[in-house]
Amino acid sequence: MKRWARERQELAISTITELELLSLSSLTPERIQEIEDVIATFTVIPLDSHIARIAAILRRQYRILTPDSAIAATAMAVDSPLATRDIGHFEKIKELNLERI
């Protein structure tokens, strides 16, 4: 992410990623604030009907979990690589440009 920031590339996350980051049961109020501060530096891409339809196709075709299909569909809808630590969740999606972080 630092490389993209240095290159002044716009960084974006899906609303599903936002939900996943903020829903961990072990989060303290301080950690929630830290995560919210980081999220504020990103463009948050809402889940709309177009992305939902792409996600549905990915979910059927690759038999992946709904959140993963929505995250992948978001990246595909905005023609962006998906930067993730969880490469294994997404590597079977041929149409997706993945970048390990």
8-29 residue pLDDT tens:
578 899 999 999 999 999 999 9
pTM equals 0.87
Angle (CA) 21 36 16, round 5°: 35
pLDDT at 6: 59
Helix runs in the chain, H state only:
2-6, 15-22, 29-39, 49-62, 66-77, 87-90
Q: Which domains does the chain have, with CATH numbers?
A: 2-100 (3.40.50.1010)
pLDDT at 10: 82
58-75 residue pLDDT tens:
999 999 999 999 999 999
